[in-house]
Amino acid sequence: MSESADASLDQQKQLMLLMTQHQRRIFGYIHTLVPRRADAEDILQETSLVIVEKFSEFKPGTDFVAWACQIAWWRVRAARQKFARSKVVFDDDVLDSVAHTAATMHAEVSDRHEALARCLQRLHPRDRELLLTRYEPGARVEEAAERSGRSLEAAYKALARLRKLLFDCVTNQLATTTP
Amino acid sequence: MTDAETLELTELCNALADDRLTEAQRVQLNERLAASEEARVFYVRFAGMNASLCDYSSELQADAPAPPKPKIIRHPMAWWAGIGAIAASLVAAFVLHEKPAVDPAPSVAWLTGSKDAQWNGSGGPQPGDSLERGQRLDLQSGLAEVTFDSGARVVLEGPTSLEVESAWAASLKSGVLTTSTPSEAAGFRVANTAVAVTNLGGDVRIETDHTGGAEVVALNGSAETAAPGRAEKVLLKSKQARHFTGGGAMPVADLDKKLSRFAQRAGLERKGRPVKLTQGSNARTVAFWVRIAKDATPGQQAEIAGFGRQKSNPLRVAWNTTPEHGLLGALRTELAGESIVGRTSLRDGEWHHVAVMIVGGKKTGRLELKQYVDGQLEGTKMLARKKVDGGDAREFVHAGDPMVGGELDKLIFADRPLTPFELRTLIDTNALPGGV
């Protein structure tokens, strides 16, 4: 195998490793800017393609998540041009500000992700099931309500209560572990 | 932020997460985020939590075997241009009247078979009867088969007590049952005090004992099991079993002997009223195949079929063009001021099977609309009225002739709601059981 072929294989392996390690964080960033999950997933797919195309420009040793999120940001901007007006949640200037804030919080959001797993374990199984059913790919609150035997309105209320509970639990966990 | 501001922002974030943010709330959210870095930090944390929940939920799904996609039969014969001719010969104007005095519970299952069944108390259910959410079945002896609207089937062996909870769940009070779930019903759940069993596809037997424990045997397929209040789950694959007690899950002794005994099954008698196709009044099921073009636009005709448009309560079947109501391209059924929006996009250039059913009536004191796509229950709506009559055979009209951006095939009307088994047979063979 030639030297250039070896280098290309190494680069592919490195890309795969980085994407496997950080895809969740990139998705989290996109989902923050594009709250509709299916749209966020589409943009993640488009972003991944661009990352593959441009990976030779990435400088090893620098922040991969920041680099990838910069690409994601431009995909988000491009996607907004295609969205129907009803799908756009944030005004342009607000989107800019939120993107800026989110870009500074990658590490914290990652810590919160880890803490959330512990907090989820503390929930009553019935509550955890409702919550995770709601977040299944393609699922909506109606389905979670049906499967948990709740009315739709009761499911909305329960989900709001559980998110508050988890949000506070995560915040408390980080407060107690942060020196 | 003040407590009141945090509360308000939390409410807005929840509305956004549940896809029910109103325009006024959207404006309010933008104002709050534009005005304060603290609010933006809060929002990023909240949105990050949503993304994490998507991730954890997907992880759990990935751990479980993915159910196969329902088999879709391709229908090369398109006849959307000729639908008007068929329409003229079929019926369905739905006339609704009489408000119920009290809100009855929705039906979520059917008694579809039995053998020597004796019920505790007087007058147990008969094959063909629908079963309400919360209805308790106390089978004294014999066998009884319950088919849930999700497509899951449960065979009870008397003495057994079961509470029907929803189309996707039941509670086993005591006794023995076997759940069978086709792919579209994967996720069906049976719980009791010792264990919660989620059938991921296949046959699973559950038997309670007098100590409050329960034995779970995966006869084939797989099931996820968990003791109440415990986070760890045990995935049982084909021919694996566990005995659950308050202390946890234990292996089952003599499993091979039990498996061969459980393999011998008694036949069930199914004496429900046979379903008939109708050319006239009292159509309770409307089913057809539909293919909507990938590039069909909301501006085009989205109505797939419309019935009784001249009446005060027309039934309208369309694909959803309003994202605020749900997934764009999903099936949307409207009747008597109620609507169901599904979760499968029909707008993908593929053939999908659609079935809309009117369940109940004067006898049961409730009237429900149910919607299935590719054999999967997508939603149930209780209607405010309790009686439905068939209309005039000549009142069927198709909205938009020809149907723009789509094709329709194998339209049938049946004189009663189909059971999930009948619906599956219709999808797989384009005929109802018995060759109808």
- Strand ranges for B251-311 from DSSP E: 285-292, 303-307
pLDDT at position B86: 30
CB-CB: which of B16, B196, B379 is closest to A89? B16
| ipTM for the assembly | 0.93
Q: Residue A58's domain spans which residues?
A: 3-104
Q: Which of A5-9, A169-173, B301-305, B400-404 has the lowest mean pLDDT?
A: B400-404
Where does a domain end: A43, A76, A104? A104
DSSP secondary structure string for all residues of A79-112: HHHHS-GGG--S-HHHHHHHHHHHHT-HHHHHHH
pLDDT at position A37: 87
CB B335 within 8 A of CB B368: no
Q: Do B58 and A32 touch (CB under 8 A)?
A: no
Looking at the structure, tell me whether residues A29 and A71 fall in a common domain: yes
How far is it between the farthest Cα atoms of chain B?
72
pLDDT at position B391: 42
DSSP secondary structure string for all residues of B141-185: EEEEEEEETTS-EEEEEEEEEEEEEETTEEEEEEEEEEEEE-GGG
CB-CB: which of A109, A138, A147 is closest to B168? A147
Q: Could you tell me the CATH number of the domain that includes residue A36?
A: 1.10.1740
Number of residues written out for chain B: 436
Q: Do A167 and B54 touch (CB under 8 A)?
A: no
Looking at the structure, tell me whether residues A32 and A94 fall in a common domain: yes
Look up the CATH number of domain B128-262. 2.60.120.1440
pLDDT tens per residue, range A144-165: 888 888 888 999 999 999 999 9
Q: Do B57 and A143 touch (CB under 8 A)?
A: no
Looking at the structure, tell me whether residues A124 and A85 fall in a common domain: no
pLDDT at position A83: 66
pLDDT tens per residue, range B64-93: 333 333 333 333 222 222 233 233 323 333
CA distance A65 to A63: 6
Q: Is B370 helix (H, G, I), strand (E, B) or coil?
A: strand
CA distance B42 to B29: 12
Sort out which chain A residues have CB atoms less than 8 A from B186's CB and list them.
none
Percent of chain A exceeding pLDDT 90 equals: 29
Q: Which residues of A112-143 are buried (b: 16+ CB within 10 A; e: fewer)?
A: bbebbeebbeebebbbbbbbbbbbbeebbbbb
CB-CB: which of B30, B57, B58 is closest to A90? B30
Looking at the structure, tell me whether residues A7 and A91 fall in a common domain: yes
Where does a domain end: A104, A128, A143? A104
Looking at the structure, tell me whether residues A82 and A118 fall in a common domain: no
pLDDT at position B93: 34
Q: How do the domains of chain B map onto residue ranges?
A: 3-63, 80-101+274-429, 128-262
Sort out which chain A residues have CB atoms less than 8 A from B56's CB and list them.
116-117, 120, 132, 135
Q: Is B29 helix (H, G, I), strand (E, B) or coil?
A: helix
Sort out which chain A residues have CB atoms less than 8 A from B135's CB and list them.
none
Assess whether pLDDT exceeds 80 at residue A96. Answer: yes
Residue B360: strand pairing partners: B367
CB-CB: which of B16, B18, B323 is closest to A159? B18
Work out how many domains chain A is built from and give that number: 2
pLDDT at position B218: 92
Sort out which chain A residues have CB atoms less than 8 A from B53's CB and list them.
116, 131-132, 134-135
CB B344 within 8 A of CB B290: no
Q: List chain B residues with pLDDT less than 70.
A: 59-105, 122, 231, 246-247, 265-266, 270-273, 278-283, 299-301, 306-314, 361-365, 384-405, 434-436
Instruction: Choose from A29, A135, A142, A164 for mutation: most chain B CBs within 10 A.
Output: A135
Token reading at A78: 């491009």
CB B281 within 8 A of CB B291: no
Instruction: Choose from A91, A109, A146 for mutation: most chain B CBs within 10 A.
Output: A146
pLDDT tens per residue, range A111-136: 998 888 888 888 888 888 888 889 88
| The domain made up of B80-101+274-429 is a member of CATH 2.60.120 | yes
Looking at the structure, tell me whether residues A136 and A88 fall in a common domain: no
Tell how strand B285-292 and strand B188-191 pair up: unpaired
Confidence of residue A84 (pLDDT cuts 50, 70, 90): low
Where does a domain end: A104, A137, A164? A104
CB B263 within 8 A of CB B254: no
CB-CB: which of A35, A136, A156 is closest to B57? A136
Amino acid in the structure at residue A23:
Q
pLDDT at position A112: 92
Instruction: Choose from B44, B340, B376 for mutation: most chain A CBs within 10 A.
Output: B44
CB B219 within 8 A of CB B239: yes
Q: How far is B77 from chain A (nearest CA, A)?
A: 31
**H helical segments located in B269-394:** none
Looking at the structure, tell me whether residues A98 and A113 fall in a common domain: no
Higher local confidence (pLDDT), A137 or A31: A31
Q: Could you tell me the CATH number of the domain that includes residue A146?
A: 1.10.10
